[in-house]
Structure formats: C-alpha cells, structure tokens
Chains A and B, each alone.
Chain A
Amino acid sequence: MTGAAAGGGGGSGSTRRAAAGKAGGRSRSAQPRAAGGGGSGGGSEEEEQRDGGSLFLVNKSGFPMDGQTWERMWGHVERVHPDGGAVAAAIRSAARLARPSVPPVPNYKLSMSIPEWLQAIQTYMKMLQYNHTGTQFFEIRKTRPLSGCPWSFVFLLPGQFSSELKNCLCLQVFSWEVYSALQEICFQCGNNRPLVLRLMETAKEMTRESLPIKCLEAVILGIYLTNGQPSVERFPISFKTHFSGNYFHHVVLGIYCNGRYGSLGMSRRSDLMDKPLTYRTLSDLIFEFEDSYKKYLHSVKKVKIGLYVPHEPHSFQPIEWKQLVLNVSKMMRTEVRKELEKFARDMRMKILKPSSAHSPMKERSRGKSLSPRRRQASPQRRACRRDKSPAVVDKKGDLATLNEVGYQLRI
C-alpha cells in the first residue's frame, strides 16, 4: 500500500466515468496523488506524506542514496521501532553484512503459458520483498508517461523555457543526441539526479537495483515485465479503504487474458496482491478483493479502475489510473457489478478513450486540487440507496476502542 491518494472523494455521486469514445472527460476533483509526493516536485517537506497516518518517505536521490535520504530512513526507523536505536546501530555498524542475493529478472519463454509467466513475475516481485523500511526507494510519478523522451524533460527544463515552448517540445520526437543535450541542460541547472522520470525507465532501475518495493512500484514493474505480450491486458485497480479512523490507499495491476481476470501486485497482506487468472468477470475479481479487505477489518470506500495500459514501447501516454470511479460504500453490490461489467465490456471492445488524452498534463502542487473538468456525458449518477451489505466494522463496534495501542492495520 502506498500513500497514493488516487483522487480523494471528489465529485458527487457514486459513479464517475469518462464518456466512452467522446472527447472531454469526467469531472474529477483531484489528480491522483503520486506515491511519496510525486505529484509535485519539491523539497523534503513535500516528500513526506501520510499513509494511514504514518509518514511516507521517498528516495529521490537515486542510487547510491545520498546522505540526507539515508539518514532520514534510519531516523524514521529509530522513531517507529521500539528498539530503533539499537536496531539501527547493530545494522549500520556491522562490519560484514550478508550480501542478499539478486533475484534473476524473469524472462519469458515460448514454452510458458501466460499463467506460468505471470507466476514467474509475481515470484520475482516476492523475492524483491515488500518494503517495510518506511522509505520508498523508487520515485514513481503517476502522471509521467510510460516512456518517450520529450515529455520527461518538460518538467525539469529551467524557467527560461516558456510554457509554450515546453508544450511544443512535448509534441516532438527527438533523436538521442537532442535528448542528451536536453538532459545536459537539466544537469547544468542543478538537477543532479539522473532523469529516471519515465515509468518504464524506473521499472528498469528496479530490476537493476533489486531492492524491496511497495504496491505502486509493483504495478509499474508488472507493466514493464508484461510489456510486449499483446494477449495480456493490464490495467490499474486502486482501492481507498477505511480502518480505525484513517484512510488507506492500495493499488494492484489487474490482468485480463483470454477471457479471465487476475492481478499482480505487492502488499503486506498476501491476499491483497496477486490473484490467479481465474476470475470470469471483473466484478468477481473486485469482490474478491473486497472480501479479502474485510478479513483485515478494512471497509472499501472507493474502487478506481484504469484503462488498459498500451504495450507500445515508446508510448507518450501517461497511465490512466481512474477511468472508472465507484463509491462502493454507497452502492448496492448489484449496482457495483453492473457498472463494472459495463466498463469491462467497453474496455474489451476498446472503445474507451483516456479521460486525460485531450488535456495537457498539469503538475499539481501538493495539497491543491485541479478544478473539475466539465463532463459532456450524461449526468452523474447519484447513490439512491445506501449500501445495505453487512458492515463488519459497525457490528463489531468502534475499532479505535479495541485498538488500544493505536495499531494501524496497513495493507
């Protein structure tokens, strides 16, 4: 799970969906907030976000990590672990530490079935391990394109480059020499961090550095490793849940192949990450997640489904994270199923256009929302009935009173 707030509660109604095949989009009150403050650039204060009430730190210094980021990681450990000081001292002063093995990056073989291939990918992610350190090692900016050179630079070009020029640059296709020259401009302006802004580049970095990852990184890595398999469609599935007075956010990579749905991902909880490619419908998959969440006393508030991620290796498109937003806590299960199946059908027929396709990408400063875009589609649905499905949390009483140590059951 991450601190990525994939659009917190904007808009009225229980369902928000981009109009199929039409220009213009749905209204949304907020851009997805990238894990670890990626939606904004900025200093250390902006890096710290909250994930279910806990601080959420991101490494933006590359590898090896710089001193400041390194010390911050250990400082966080000392604060959260009961024996933090001793733990940190023991590890940092150890003369020799066991060198952890580097798991081999899975390679697809023609003899593999798709389920076997997905299993190999998931096994690889598990070998990297879920990151419990409190510092996310790979910076993921959800609004960045999958790949494509020009877009990456726009956000880092210095102030002398006007917005018009930046927009113009976005539309160009550059040779490697021009790309390198633009990179040099950014370095000279004091941005010493290698420009690993494109998401697939970040995924490659994950395989090179081989470090523990969290859910958002797992989604990006899953996309990278399944690229080039046209029979495998990938789409993000985001959850906003509530537990003990806090909201939590989690994302997995939905998979559709040969008439079946499944998922890849990473989580603290083994039943909230990968699911086998056995679910006949999208709603079956989503309900499976919802049922799994209940075991951890999380109530699912919102589910957001993105579009299929293109397989093109040089796609300039950013990932569409929330083409469909369902306020499931305000909907009957039948309504949820109906919406999901309609959406899934449209996705399979490939008639959906990304809601962000016709508007320029905007960097959102942390804490600020974009004004909602006007919808050209039919009026938004409103929840006509409250969700009558049994609410485990309500029946068991206020969890906060049961949770004397203030334990946040994170996902």
Chain B
Amino acid sequence: MGGPAAAPLPPARRRCCDPPVGGGRKERPKPREPAARLEKAKQKSAQQELKQRQRAEIYALNRVMTELEQQQFDSFCKQMQASGE
C-alpha cells in the first residue's frame, strides 16, 4: 500500500517520481479486487438462491391455487346442474 508520505520538497526539486505534495497517496486497488469480486460473487449466488427458492414456492402455491380453482369450478357446475333440474 506504499510507505509513509515523503516530506514535501521545494517545488523546483521535486522529482516526478516523488509522491504528490499534501500526503495524497495513490491507492493500490489490486489487492482489494479479489475481495470485492468475492463479495459480488457471494451476492450473486445469494440472489440466485433466493430466486430459486421463490420459484419453488411459487409453483407450490400455484398447485394449491389451481386445485382451489378447480374445486370451485366443479362446485359451481354442480350447483348449476342442480338449479337446472
């Protein structure tokens, strides 16, 4: 991550490779990248799992609601038949 900031030199003698005046240090992002990438991958994986869980619940629910609809429809048809008679 770089050493301590070098003591500021008079402008005329500052070399181009000296660190900038004011103590600003250029951060080195490379070592953080794998951590950020890992975090992102974890988040993506969690999202995928959540999607899969939601999908499973949706289809389980749809099965129940389809049965309900069918029961109600059958009941209605019987009612209609009975009324017709």
Residue-wise, chain A 119-159 has the 8 Å CB interface mask toward B (1 for contact) of 00000000001111110010000000000000000000000
- Is the CB of A65 closer than 8 A to any CB of chain B? yes
Q: Which of A92-100, A196-204, A303-311, A355-363 contacts B (4 or more CB under 8 A)?
A: A92-100
* A97-B54 CB under 8 A given contacts A81-B64, A132-B65, A409-B76: no
Q: Which residue among B50, B57, B59, B75 has the maximum number of chain A CB atoms within 10 Å of its CB?
A: B59
- Is the CB of B55 closer than 8 A to any CB of chain A? yes
- Is the CB of B61 closer than 8 A to any CB of chain A? yes
Give the total number of A-B pairs whose CB atoms are below 8 A apart.
76
* Chain B 29-85 residues near chain A, CB threshold 8 A: 47, 50-62, 64-66, 68-69, 72-73, 75-76, 79-80, 83-84
Of A92, A132, A209, the contact of B55 (CB 8 Å cutoff): A209
Q: Which residue of A lies closest to B64 (CB)?
A: A87
Whether B56 lies near A98 (C-beta < 8 A) is yes
* A407-B75 CB under 8 A given contacts A64-B51, A81-B64, A131-B62: yes
Q: Which residue of A lies closest to B59 (CB)?
A: A100
Bound Cα distance from A211 to B58, whole angstroms: 8
Residue-wise, chain A 243-279 has the 8 Å CB interface mask toward B (1 for contact) of 0000000000000000000000000100000000000
B interface, size bucket? 20 to 34
Whether A63 lies near B60 (C-beta < 8 A) is no
Whether A130 lies near B79 (C-beta < 8 A) is no
Residues of A within 8 A of B59 (CB): 100, 129, 212
* A97-B61 CB under 8 A given contacts A130-B66, A210-B55: no
* Chain B 15-37 residues near chain A, CB threshold 8 A: none
Whether B73 lies near A97 (C-beta < 8 A) is no
- Residues of chain B having any CB pair with chain A under 8 Å: 47, 50-62, 64-66, 68-69, 72-73, 75-76, 79-80, 83-84
- Residues of chain A having any CB pair with chain B under 8 Å: 63-65, 70, 77, 81-82, 87, 91-92, 94, 97-100, 129-134, 137, 209-212, 268, 297, 396, 402-405, 407, 409
**A64-B51, A99-B52 given; 6 more Cβ-contact pairs under 8 Å:** A81-B68, A99-B55, A99-B56, A131-B62, A132-B69, A297-B80
Q: List 29 A-B contacts (CB under 8 A).
A: A63-B51, A63-B54, A91-B57, A91-B60, A92-B57, A97-B53, A97-B56, A98-B56, A98-B60, A99-B55, A99-B56, A100-B56, A129-B62, A129-B66, A132-B65, A132-B69, A133-B62, A133-B65, A209-B51, A209-B55, A210-B55, A211-B55, A212-B58, A268-B69, A396-B84, A402-B83, A405-B76, A407-B72, A407-B76
Q: Which 10 A-B pairs have the closest CB atoms?
A: A132-B65, A97-B56, A100-B59, A64-B50, A64-B51, A407-B76, A91-B60, A132-B66, A402-B83, A212-B62
